[in-house]
Chain A
Amino acid sequence: MAKLKIDDLKKIKEKVQGTIAIRDGSHRAKITVHMGTCGIAAGARTILNAFMDEVNRRGVTDVILTTSGCAGLCSKEPMATVEVRGAAPVKYIELDEEKAKRIFADHVMDEKPVIEFALVQGSETTY
């Protein structure tokens, strides 16, 4: 890999926004499973696997499944965020395999958030 120059930062940023940002990219939805130590201890891997199974089973190609660090609210782990194009990201809490499957079917596929498992929509303010 060649060394980065300052212009490359901008290019990477644009590329990231093309692929990761779901609005303009080729992806319709993004699922982020929050996997810090606490999340993993609470069972986040099972949740990630459940989503992965659903992606494979249904053969969908327009959904990004990714991970991030801790979302901050350890007592409500495991948590995941689902963002569907054109709508606010929704944070789901206290997940298990069954809930993950239901969220995938209703929110990711049918674009109807599962209200009873949801904590909040939107994301946090940064300065």
Chain B
Amino acid sequence: MNPYQIAKEYNAFLQNESLTEFKDKIDSILEDYRERRGGLIPVLQQVQEYLKFLPPVVQNYVALGLGVPSSDVYGVVSFYSFFSMKPRGRHLVRTCLGTACYVKGIQKVIDKIERGFDVTMGGTTKDRRFTLQGVRCLGACGLAPVVVVDENTLGQVDHAKIVKMLEKYE
């Protein structure tokens, strides 16, 4: 794909997803890191912060901006669990998959969320309200089982109450 085409598809994507406000910010990140070694992962982290996900059109644009092959970008995005190629919901529900939470019954909590909102682990509800993810041990084992909704940590979660607790996130 030629650079012109990549930029065109990328701009169309921003337009469709109503994300054009971030265009300049992302361009300046790419500018900052162009000359720096090993900048790909920090760049992707910052871009994802704005766009919430990194579909192939965005990956191609980042590759173009940094002057690296787009296969490298895809390789990194697909390797690290922090990066997502699919859109995320308005609220991110992260369930801790650490040993302490497992012992204290996080699986029951997950079952309840999956059934209550018709969503599967790693997926997003149809109305893009919630994205459900498992996360490696959050280190809050004293409060197991732990669910983090956006920035709020819910400790000692009762599986019978989790659906109700999530209802308040619109």
Q: Which residues of A contact B (CB under 8 A)?
A: 37-38, 40-42, 74-75, 77
Contacts and interface: CB of A to CB of B under 8 A. Distances in A.
Given A37-B140, A38-B139, A41-B146, 17 more contacts: A37-B138, A37-B139, A37-B153, A38-B140, A38-B141, A38-B143, A40-B153, A41-B140, A41-B143, A41-B153, A41-B155, A42-B142, A42-B155, A74-B142, A75-B142, A77-B142, A77-B143
A75 B100 CA distance: 12
24 contacts: A37-B138, A37-B139, A37-B140, A37-B153, A38-B139, A38-B140, A38-B141, A38-B142, A38-B143, A40-B153, A41-B140, A41-B143, A41-B146, A41-B153, A41-B155, A42-B142, A42-B143, A42-B155, A74-B140, A74-B141, A74-B143, A75-B142, A77-B142, A77-B143
Contacts of B140: 37-38, 41, 74
A41 B139 CA distance: 11
Interface size class of B (residues with CB under 8 A): under 10
A37 B155 CA distance: 12
B15 to A, nearest CB: 39
A42 B142 CA distance: 9
